[in-house]
Amino acid sequence: MSSVQPAETSPRKYQLMIDGKWVDAESGKTFTTPNPATGEILAEVAEGDQADIDKAVAAARKAFEGKWSKVSARDRGRMLYKLSQLIEERTPELAALETSDNGKPIKESTYVDLPQVAENFEYFAGWATKIEGETIPVPGQMFNYTLREPVGVCGQIIPWNFPLLMAAWKLAPALAAGNTIVLKPAEQTPVNAMELGKLIQEAGFPDGVVNIVPGYGETAGAALAAHPGIDKVAFTGSTEVGKLVAKAAAENLTKVSLELGGKAPNIVFADADIEQAVSGAMMGIFFNQGQVCCAGSRLFVEEGVKDQFLERLQAKSANIVVGDPMDQGTHMGPQVSAEQLSRIQGYCDVAQEEGATVLAGGKSPELAAAFQKGYFFQPTIFSDVKNQMRIAQEEVFGPVVSVISFKDEDDLIKQANDTIYGLSAGIWTSNITRAHRFAKAIHAGVIWINTYNMFNAASPFGGYKQSGYGREMGKHALDMYTHVKSVWVDLSGKPIGWFGK
């Protein structure tokens, strides 16, 4: 198989992007980000904190009230479209960097992440000129209409699992609606956020419209969420940190949207096409090394087909290629960090203590010398899992699937909904009425029927319950980035008679 060259050999250097300028952190501090496949330092990055967030928020405010407010909707759309084109043109370079910083296979960066990043900017480019108010049929000699206005300065905090794509999901609708932004990428994967900053400048966005401040969550992230100068905070990450963000925002009653964790049921009925369902179970849990908030980590399989299904799942999973993420033939690269690797190993230990059986994996693979410092983990299957076990209730965020058997539909729906999360669910069946019954019965924001992990910029994504609130992508994303203003106009030209003549 052909192999792509890693992005570079010596560490790259990045500053903060504030008000259109590349600057060091006020503190002068920097941090490094490793390549998780090798442990080598990929880049040294300026470490923003409160002082830099203050500067970035002030720049975003100035741009919001100044230059950006005078840019027409058409021109906002054109800049977004130009950005999507620049991303398409730079896909090979950006994909190699995404893989070097995050560890995801180059096949995935090139054919999934990057195309979806471009698609999101392109989709929301089209929306810029279609954000409209309405006229309301109020009674009497009155005219009432609404205006859709941008919310203002938005703080956006993103995770490391899809570094560029999470930036695109947040930036694209916010910019289409005319907001300005302070973006804080995850400490594990800051590199492509900064590369995106360069392309944002090249696409013609005025200085200060997008400001990018990498740094740590407890300092830069917390300062942004609690900042009285922002009008909205949008967060993707763990449910635990999501609660901290919502609490910090509550102090100023800042608008909040949250895209948090999941523990999705992926359900296989006996009448499913078993080969299709096996491939869907693998897509559900092994894609992106299992580091997906909507991963199908609870695999419910109907008793009657369980043995046959598990045999096929085991056989096919044994063929998954784990290794050099720059190799076009690799299916799974390393986990993002040493912390994540040890967290996953910890959950595998817990599962065994709870009585689950390891059918595959459960440990790191043996790899060539160059990758021995990488954070690799094998595709892992646990059977004999009960839905109450920790392995079935807590988000592992790794390539670890818990197989739970079920007997009938009522029992299944109770178990599937018995979780604090509600982000997504999958069902595999040839019974069309059951499929749609199920789609209504499951408390989750996304349902996949005989498929898994399907996304499109036009289709909304977001959670029920502790998986968060608000919807990203699609027209619903614009609701999170606009205010509705109601305007009343008297058409009679007469005094108001209420208090007499």
DSSP β-bridge partners for residue 112: none
Q: Report the site for ligand NAP in 278-307 (rule: CB under 6 A).
A: 293
Q: Nearest-CB residue to ligand NAP?
A: 217
Q: Would residue 259 show up in a list of annotated catalytic residues for this protein?
A: yes
Smallest gap from residue 57 Cβ to Mg ion (A): 26
User: Edge-to-edge strand order for the sheet containing 142-150?
Assistant: 135-136, 142-150, 482-490
Give the Cα separation of 313 and 500 in Å (integer).
81
236, 197 contact by CB (below 8 A): no
- The one segment of 32-40, 137-145, 224-232, 352-360 that binds Mg ion by CB under 5 A: 32-40
Q: Which residue is nearest to Mg ion (CB)?
A: 33
| Rounded least distance, CB 73 to Mg ion, Å | 37
Answer yes or no whether residue 217 interacts with ligand NAP by CB under 6 A.
yes
CB of 397 to ligand NAP, least distance (A): 3
Helix/strand/coil (H/E/C) assignment for every residue in 115-167: HHHHHHHHHHHHHHHHCCCCEECCCCCEEEEEEEEECCEEEEECCCCCHHHHH
Decide: helix, strand or coil at residue 263.
coil
Query: CB under 8 Å to 54, separation ≥6 — which residues?
Result: 223, 227, 229
> Residue 216 interacts with ligand NAP (CB under 6 A)?
yes
How far is Cα of residue 7 from the mean position of the Cα atoms in its chain?
23
Q: Which does 236 bind (CB under 5 to 8 A by kind): ligand NAP, Mg ion, none?
A: ligand NAP
Joined together, the tokens standing for residue 293 give 């908030």
293, 302, 348, 395: the catalytic one is: 293
Tokens for 457, please give them: 């910029």
**Which stretch in 215-223, 275-283, 377-385, 485-493 sits in contact with ligand NAP by CB under 6 A?**
215-223
Q: Is 244 in the site for ligand NAP (CB under 6 A)?
A: yes
Q: Say which entry of Mg ion, ligand NAP, none residue 124 contacts (CB below 5 to 8 A, set by partner kind).
A: none
Residues 134-193 that bind ligand NAP (CB under 6 A): 157-161, 184, 186-188
Q: Is 291 an interacting residue with respect to Mg ion (CB under 5 A)?
A: no
Active-site residue, 154 included: no
261 binding partner (options ligand NAP, Mg ion, none; Cβ < 5 to 8 Å by kind):
ligand NAP
Q: How many residues bind ligand NAP (CB under 6 A)?
A: 27
Rounded to a whole number of angstroms, the minimum distance from the CB of residue 194 to Mg ion is 13
Interaction of residue 7 with ligand NAP, rule CB under 6 A: no
298 binds, among Mg ion, ligand NAP, none (CB under 5 to 8 A by kind): none
Interface pattern 342-371 for ligand NAP (x via CB under 6 A): ------------------------------
SS3 of residue 305 by DSSP? helix
Produce one character per residue of 1-21: b if its CB has 16 or more CB atoms within 10 Å, e if not. Answer: eeebebbeeeebebbbbbbbe
Shortest approach of Mg ion to residue 336 CB, angstroms? 7
Residue 31 binding ligand NAP, by CB under 6 A: no
According to CB under 5 A, which one of 49, 101, 119, 122 is a site residue for Mg ion?
101
Backbone phi, then psi, for 421, in 5-degree steps?
A: -95, 165
Instruction: Tell me how many helices (H) and strands (E) the chain has.
Output: 17, 23
Question: What number of other Cβ atoms are within 10 A of residue 108's Cβ?
Answer: 23
Q: CA-CA distance, 474 to 456, in Å (whole number)?
A: 8
251 binds ligand NAP (CB under 6 A): no
Distance CA 283, CA 279 (A): 6
Least distance (Å) between residue 224 CB and ligand NAP: 7
> Which of ligand NAP, Mg ion, none lies near 119, with the C-beta cut-off 5 to 8 A by kind?
none
Cβ 396 vs Cβ 416: under 8 Å? no
∠361-364-368 over CA atoms, to 5°?
125
What burial letters (b/e) apply to 320-348, b meaning 16+ CB within 10 Å? bebbbbbbeebbbbbbbbeebbeebbebb
Which one of Mg ion, ligand NAP, none interacts with residue 238, CB within 5 to 8 A by kind?
ligand NAP
Active site amino acids: 259, 293
What residues line the site for Mg ion (CB under 5 A)? Answer: 33, 101
What residues line the site for ligand NAP (CB under 6 A)? Answer: 157-161, 184, 186-188, 216-218, 221-222, 225, 236-238, 241, 244-245, 259-261, 293, 395, 397
